[in-house]
Structures are given as C-alpha cells and as structure tokens.
Structure 1
Amino acid sequence: MKFEMLQKLTAMMFEPDGAGGIRQRYDSVDVRTLSPLVAAYVGDAYFHLFVRGRLLSYEQNKVQVLNRFSAQIVSAVWQAKAYTAIEPMLTDEEKGIFRRGRNAHSHAPRAASVREYHMSTGFEALLGTLYLTKQFDRLEEVTEASFQAISMELMRLTDKDRK
C-alpha cells in the first residue's frame, strides 16, 4: 500500500478525541445490521488463528510447514468441505447466517470454484457472527468439528494415495 493511500485511510477511519486519544465511531457492534462480508472478514481471521493454534498440537518447530499446512486448511476449498461436514450439527439460525454469507456478492479467487468460494464465505460469516455475538462455547464447538472434518478428509485422501 502506498503511503498516500495509508494517509487517506487513516484520515477516513481515525479522528482525535480531543484528549490525546482516538475517538471511536461506534460503541458496539450490531451483528444483525452488519454486512455478511464483514462477519466473514472476522470469521476468516478467527479460523486462521484457531487453525494455527490447533496445529501446534502436531508440530512446534517447522514454521514453513505450519504456514503451508494452515494455508491449505483455511482455503476456500477446505472450508467448503468443512461446512458440508458440520451442517447437520447447525441450528436453523446458524444455517440462515451461512446462507446470507454464501449469497453475499463477492468475487471468487482462481484457487477455488465459485461454489466453494461462496460456501467458504458463508462458513466464515457463521464463525464471525458467533465470535461477534460472544457465543464462544458454540464457536469452539463448530471450529473444532470443522478442523476434525478437514483433518479426517486429509487423512483419508493421503491413505487413498498410499494404496
């Protein structure tokens, strides 16, 4: 990012509060009025951190391996597979959050199909909404089930290739 763009963003986002600090624009976050893509933005960050922390149960020395493996797990392709696996455990409300995120207008990257990308956006919107509404026990349950589903599928594919 060029410095000029950083200056514009800083001026747009931050205002002095008159007491030497920065004035907050919002006192709280009403998830019901947020764009599903904003919830997905938060959910993406949460899932990245969750996966990185979870992978430390298996490897603690090889940063490049951890980075490559975590990038694979949090990819749109694998998040779409995770959602398919966990869908039966979700409430109707959670499925509705997923649908709103999936149907939000966004552009798919080249590394995933449009369907996978939209599903991953819905998955991330669900995680972001659970995080922003402070449903941390449910968030842990959903992310752990997702991690387990991805891990099991990766092992199944690896076993299949060995034979």
Structure 2
Amino acid sequence: MTFEHLKKLVDMMFVPDGQGGVLQRYDTVDPKSLHPLVLAYIGDAYFHLFIRGRILSYEQSKVQVLHQFSAQMVSAVWQDKAYRAIEHILDEEEKAVYRRGRNAKSHAPRSASVAQYHSSTGFEALLGYLYLMERNERLYELAEQSFQVISKAMMAEISERK
C-alpha cells in the first residue's frame, strides 16, 4: 500500500472530533443489516483467534508451527468440512445467515474450490453474526464443534496417507 493510498483511507475513515480524538461514525452495529462479507470478515478474525487459542493446548513454544497449523485449520477447505458437519444443529436463522454469506459475490483463492470457498464464507459470516449479536455461548459451541470436526478429519486424513 502506498502512502497516498493510506492517506486516502485514513481521511475516509477518521474524522477529528475537535478534542484530539476521532469521531465515531456509528453508535451501534446492527448485524442483521451488515453486508455478509463484513460479517465474514469479523467471523474470520474470530475463528482465527479461537483456533490459535485452542492449539495452545498442544504446542506453546514454536510460533512458526502454530502459525502454519492454525492457517491450515482455518482454510476454506476445512471450514467447509466443519460447516457440513455442524449444519444439522443450526436453527433457521443461523442457516439463513450462512446462505447470505455463501451467496455473497466474492473471489475464490486457488487453494479451494469455488464451492468450498463460498461455503467457508458462509461459515465465517455465521460466526461473525453470532459474535456481533453477542451470542457468545452459541458462538463458542459452534467454534468448538468445528474445531473438533477439523482436528478429527485432519487426523483421519494423515492416517489414510500412511
């Protein structure tokens, strides 16, 4: 990012409040009205942090290993598998949020199929929605179940390759 680009972004985002601070543009955030890719942006951040915290139970000293492992676990391929495994326990509202995220126009990376990428975007949108709605117990429940699904599937995949 060039300095000029950064300057444009700062000018667009932040407005001085006249007292040395920055004016807040929005007093509240209504998750129901947010674009699904914004929900996915928040959900992606939450799931990254959740996974990073969970894998500390297994490794605590090798930062590069932690980074590589967490990056693998939050990939579109694994998030798609996690969603498919937890879909049956979702209520209609949660499924609707997932569909909004899945159907949002976005570009898939080379590391996943288009279907997997859209599914993972829906999964992240669901997590972002629950986070912003402050449904913390449900959010933790789905993230933990997803972690369990992903870790078991990874173990099974490794066993198959031996």
TM-score by length of structure 1 reads 0.98
How many residues in Structure 1 have an aligned counterpart in Structure 2? 162
Q: Does 1:74 align with 2:74?
A: yes
Q: Which residue of 1 aligns with 2:26?
A: 26
Q: Which residue of 1 aligns with 2:16?
A: 16
Deviations 1:74-121 (A, max 9, x none): 000100000001111111110110001000011111111000000000
The Cα of 1:160 is off from its aligned counterpart by 1.7
Q: Which residue of 2 aligns with 1:101?
A: 101
| Separation (CA, whole Å) in 2 of partners of 1:2 and 1:138 | 41
1:129 counterpart SS class: helix
| Separation (CA, whole Å) in 1 of partners of 2:76 and 2:159 | 23
The Cα of 1:159 is off from its aligned counterpart by 1.6
Task: Report matched runs for 1:87-126 at 5 Å.
Answer: 87-126=87-126
Q: Pairwise CA RMSD of aligned residues? A: 0.6
* Residue identity opposite 1:29 in structure 2: V
| Separation (CA, whole Å) in 1 of partners of 2:63 and 2:76 | 22
The Cα of 1:153 is off from its aligned counterpart by 0.4
The Cα of 1:18 is off from its aligned counterpart by 1.2
Q: Does 1:54 align with 2:54?
A: yes
Q: Does 1:134 align with 2:159?
A: no
| Separation (CA, whole Å) in 2 of partners of 1:93 and 1:34 | 15
| Separation (CA, whole Å) in 1 of partners of 2:104 and 2:159 | 36
| Separation (CA, whole Å) in 1 of partners of 2:19 and 2:68 | 45
| Structure 1, gaps ≥5 residues long | none
| Structure 2, gaps ≥5 residues long | none
| Separation (CA, whole Å) in 2 of partners of 1:58 and 1:115 | 31
Query: Which consecutive aligned stretches of 4+ in structure 1 deviate over 3 angstroms post-superposition?
Result: none
